[in-house]
Amino acid sequence: MIERMTVIKNRAGIHARPAALIVQTASKFKSKISLQKGDDRINAKSIMGIITLGAGFDTEILIIADGEDEAEAAEAIDRLFKNRFEEV
């Protein structure tokens, strides 16, 4: 299992478009991938779960990946956050 802390840097936070990008990326991997904000942990392959997380700008998110391709999965999800979901 790999855990990696990241921070939301796009001003709008996680809304529908970033949530869809997370789900699309997470679904490419066999590993179980979760996102955690505080005590709330959701499945990164669930768009409704991601949206209900209610994560805004500058929120810390813990990425948790567990499975055969966990390192690649955690890196890919973290890259989305670092690239601000390709938003300006």
Query: For residue 75, what are the contacts with CB-CB under 8 A and spacing of at least 6?
Result: none
Kindly name the residue from 4, 9, 12, 15 that is annotated as catalytic.
Answer: 15
- 20 assigned to active site: no
Q: Does residue 16 sit in helix, strand or coil?
A: helix
Distances (CA, A) of 14 to 29, 30, 66: 21, 23, 23
Report, as residue numbers or ranges, the catalytic residues: 15
